């Protein structure tokens, strides 16, 4: 009898873990072990990393925004809980729909796609002032963007 209750309790807790996650939080990147789901590169430059949370609580991490978009194109949208991109200053995870994007061939990213994310338009303007001028992109435009090298 005791065993049965124990097993039931265990299954119940598993179910709880499975169901309780309604809000999606970005997880921390582990530079030692995390590799990009798409291109397999290790995520040694965390400031450019991106990640996706599935509704079932699984995570996929990416080394560059371009890899995330590549992955999003093929994934079943109904399974996706949220997607995040690190802001260019490396301070915070931004939901991909809310970030401001700027592209310039002079910006370096791990895959050299050259698209950076910012928390606000001001932050983007500021960055462009300090570095070189870039082209503003909306989140929707990312899906038509030609990811590749632009030297």
Partner 1 sequence: MRSIILHIAFFAALIGFVHEAEAGTDFQQLIDQAEEGDVIHLSKGTYEGNFIIPKGITLIGDGNAVFKPKNPKEPVITVNGANHVTIQGIKVQTPGTGMVIKDSNDIKLSNLIMNGVFSGIDVYRTNGIAVEKTTIAGNGENLGKKGNGISFYDSSGITAKNNDIAHVQDGIYLENAKDISVLKNKVENGRYGTHFMYSEDAEVRDNVYKKNVTGLMIMMTENVSLSRNDISYQDGFNGTGITLYEVKNIDIQNHTISGNRVAISVQKSDDTNISNNILQMNQTAVEAIRSGGSQVKKNYFVGNLVNVRSDMNGIQLKENYYDDYAGIDIDDDGIGDEPYVALQSFGQWMVRKPVYQYYVEAPSVVLLNQIDQQTNKTSKQLLVDENPVTKFETDRGIQWKLYWPQFILGFILTIACIVIWRRSVLT
Partner 2 sequence: MLGKLIVLEWKQMLRSRWLQLVAVLFIFVFVSIVMIQQLALPDIEGFTRQTASFLNLLLFLLPLFTLTIGGMSVAGDVESGWFSLLKTYPMKIFQYVSGKFVALVGSFIFIVLLALGVVFLLGGLFGGVKVPYEFLVIALCLIFIFSAIAILLGTLAKNRLHALAISLVVWALLLLLLSYLVMAIGTVVPGHVLQKLTIAILHINPVDWLRFGYFLISGQTAVLGPTYYDLIGFYGSVAGKAVFIVVTILWIVVPLFLATIKLKKFGVEK
Which of the ranges 25-33, 66-74, 93-101, 108-116 carries the binding residues for partner 2, by CB under 8 A? 25-33
CB neighbour list of residue 34: distance below 8 Å, 6 or more residues apart: 42, 43, 49, 61
Judged by CB under 8 A, the residue of 5, 20, 33, 78 near partner 2 is 33
CB neighbour list of residue 74: distance below 8 Å, 6 or more residues apart: none
Is 105 a residue that touches partner 1 (CB under 8 A)?
Answer: no
Is 41 a residue that touches partner 1 (CB under 8 A)?
Answer: yes
Write each residue from 38 to 77 as x if it is in contact with partner 2 (CB under 8 A), else as -, in one continuous string: ----------------x-xxxx------------------
Distance, CA of 145 to CA of 140 (rounded, Å): 9
Is 7 a residue that touches partner 2 (CB under 8 A)?
Answer: no
Q: Which residue's CB is nearer to partner 2, number 33 or number 133?
A: 33
Is 18 a residue that touches partner 2 (CB under 8 A)?
Answer: yes
Is 6 a residue that touches partner 2 (CB under 8 A)?
Answer: no
How far from chain centre, in Å, is Cα 29?
11
Which of the ranges 16-24, 27-35, 76-84, 86-94 carries the binding residues for partner 1, by CB under 8 A? 27-35
- The string over 82-119, giving b where at least 16 C-beta atoms fall within 10 Å of a residue's C-beta and e elsewhere, is bbbbbbbeeeebbebeebbbbbbeebebbbebbbbbbb
């Amino acid at each position: 009898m005791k065993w049965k209750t124990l097993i039931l309790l265990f299954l119940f807790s598993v179910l709880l873990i499975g169901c309780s996650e309604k809000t999606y939080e970005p997880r921390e990147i582990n530079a030692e072990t995390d590799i990009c789901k798409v291109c397999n590169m290790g995520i040694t430059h965390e400031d450019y990393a991106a990640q996706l949370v599935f509704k079932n609580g699984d995570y996929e991490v990416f080394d560059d925004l371009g890899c995330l978009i590549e992955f999003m194109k093929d994934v079943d949208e109904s399974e996706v809980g949220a997607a995040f991109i690190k802001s260019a200053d490396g301070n915070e995870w931004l939901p991909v729909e809310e970030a401001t994007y700027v592209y310039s061939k002079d910006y370096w990213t791990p895959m050299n796609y050259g698209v950076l994310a910012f928390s606000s338009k001001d932050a983007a303007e500021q960055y462009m002032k300090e570095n070189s001028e870039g082209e503003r992109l909306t989140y929707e435009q990312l899906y038509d963007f030609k990811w590749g090298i632009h030297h």
